[in-house]
Amino acid sequence: MGKVRVRFAPSPTGYLHVGGARTALYNYLFAKQNQGTFVLRIEDTDLARSTEESINGVLEGMEFLGLTWDEGPYFQSKRLEYYKEAADKLLAAGRAYRCYCTPEELDQMRKAALERKEDPVYDGRCRHLTEEQRAELEAQGRTSVLRFKADNEGETSFDDLIKGQITFDNKQIDDFVIWKSDGMPTYNFGVVVDDALMEITHVIRGDDHVSNTPKQIQLYHALGYPVPKFAHVPMILGEDRTRLSKRHGATSVTQFRDEGYLPEAMNNYLALLGWSYDDSQTLFSMDELIEKFSLERVSHNPAVFDIQKLQWMNGVYIRDMDIDQLYIRVLAQWQKAGFLSENPSEEEAVKAKAVLKELQSRVKLLNELDEAAYYFFQDEVRYNQAVVEKILFKPGVADILSHLLNELLQLKEFTEENLEPIFKATIEKFDCKLGNIMQPVRVAVTGTNVSPSIYPVLTLVGRARTCQRLRDAVEMIKANEKGE
RNA sequence: GCCCCCAUCGUCUAGAGGCCUAGGACACCGCCCUUUCACGGCGAAGGCACCGGUUCGAAUCCGGUUGGGGGUACCA
């Protein structure tokens, strides 16, 4: 095998969706594994859809996932001269011709064919137009497109690296358009010219291109280009088993990034969506994926995107991360939330890391870290009213909290070791269970009944804030008693 | 309609004729750990779409049915 060259060729739709991301990933892995070249090419021949903004969406997604390309990005809109040259070649060789049919006429022809229960393929009526007829049509002001004179006899087949041999009857292939009246090449034409000129050896792309492949192969032949190998990756579906789209919720990589997913988890999950190694292994680093990925083991059938599993995997990566790493990842968002200053002091960093250590096994997304951590860094506590009523507004709670408050104020050092005996003593004094003390304290200090272990929570919140919150809670309870 | 592809637990999958009374992971349920919630540990439940072949023997091979996906554009 010569030097491997693969490409990812998205059309700019405003964002990189997970299906595209997975295709990009597979291309990337295949390139790296074979010391090949990974080319990025933007297929922006649809003038209406291609904007700079939507191109950035794609690039951002790629960068987030760390799928760095070795060449490009190339833009088809800037390569018109190459397509023109190839089209002229076809025209000169008699393998292409001008067609003057209007979209409306074509539409009618299709409908008529369908009614006659025939295949809705173009009938090639403009194939044999004479010079005079052409001149006349042009005099009428008709615009024209360029059609490829397809081979309608025999079969076209190729050996797909994932699906195996696939054969098409050439009767299905009509004289398709290669050049649009707006002056742009069509997709099928652009890909072929570019893949050939860029010397792409392996075309790894979505399943939805299978039926385009025979057309493209005919084009390769007509143009005298060598035909690359093809590998068609099955689609990703939503829960309802239809093609994954926006209405299934988050599908864009940047959106996942904004929701707190890690690129490592995304890559790992996406790699496994349609590919498996030996099935006892589910966690793969990028290096392992590069080493172990293979097209042969890519599944033949479409896969349903399972957000739950992605979420679980993200949690695994968060848990496995060392605290310094986690701190770096969360720094910006915590600064934005006001938990950390612009240039955090050593003291701030130490505290933040200690908080992260407590929270690490309790979140699945980076974003959850904001809500889970705010009470360590801010004075105000957001009380969950239902929980307050259930746990704080119970007889005797005010006494316990008041007692605890006094004890805590007298403590020499506000440490976990010193906290424990106080709680133990309080159990005895009030003759109750640990839970009867812990839970009210938890609610008073965190505003809710769910938090990390109480001793670390208290020490990290600090004596001042802890005591203040205990006082506030006692008052809240008393106010409630009066009100009733 | 026509063409192409596909078919193992709810989901992602292992399985390439006997190793399968079908294995793993997520989700779900139960138990343990535990001051709460997570994490962790243990366990349960759950599937070869159907019908015919081939074979001593089929989840695995063949045919059909059904079901799903994709395509059928001057979109990519």
Average pLDDT over residues A361-370: 97
Segment A127-168, tens digit of pLDDT: 999 989 999 998 998 999 999 999 999 999 999 999 999 999
How far apart are the two ends of chain A, measured CA to CA in Å? 84
Which has the minimum average pLDDT: A113-122, A158-167, A232-241, A440-449? A113-122
Q: Specify the length of chain A in residues.
A: 484
ipTM: 0.96
Residue A484, pLDDT > 80, answer: no
* Residue A85 or A2, more confident: A85
Does CATH number 3.40.190.10 belong to domain A1-73+234-319? no
Give pLDDT, residue A124: 87
pLDDT band at A304 (very low <50, low <70, confident <90, very high): very high
Report residues 365-404 of A contacting strand B, contact meaning Cβ closer than 7 Å: none
Give pLDDT, residue A22: 97
Nearest to A374 by CA among A428, A337, A346, A406: A337
Give pLDDT, residue A249: 82
Distance A298 CA to B58 C1' (A): 24
What CATH class does A385-481 carry?
mainly alpha
Nearest to A469 by CA among A454, A458, A453, A479: A458
Portion of chain A with pLDDT greater than 90, in percent: 82
DSSP string, A97-109: EEE---HHHHHHH
Q: What average pLDDT does the structure give for chain A? A: 94
Distance A364 CA to B69 C1' (A): 32
pLDDT band at A18 (very low <50, low <70, confident <90, very high): very high
Residue A60, pLDDT > 70, answer: yes
Residue A85, pLDDT > 90, answer: yes
Residue A314, pLDDT > 60, answer: yes
Strand B lies under 7 A from the Cβ of residue A349: no
Does CATH number 3.10.350.10 belong to domain A321-377? no
Burial status of residue A442 (CB atoms within 10 A of its CB: 0-12, 13-18, 19 or more): buried
Give pLDDT, residue A481: 81
pLDDT band at A15 (very low <50, low <70, confident <90, very high): confident
Give pLDDT, residue A1: 52
Average pLDDT over residues A277-287: 92
Three-state DSSP at A450 gives: coil
What CATH class does A82-179 carry?
alpha beta
pLDDT band at A245 (very low <50, low <70, confident <90, very high): confident
Strand B lies under 7 A from the Cβ of residue A143: yes
pLDDT band at A445 (very low <50, low <70, confident <90, very high): very high
| Strand B bases with any atom < 7 A from protein Cβ | 1-8, 10-14, 23-27, 35-40, 68-76
Residue boundaries of the structural domains of chain A: 1-73+234-319, 82-179, 321-377, 385-481
Strands A236-237 and A303-304: parallel
Segment A339-362, tens digit of pLDDT: 999 999 999 999 999 999 999 999
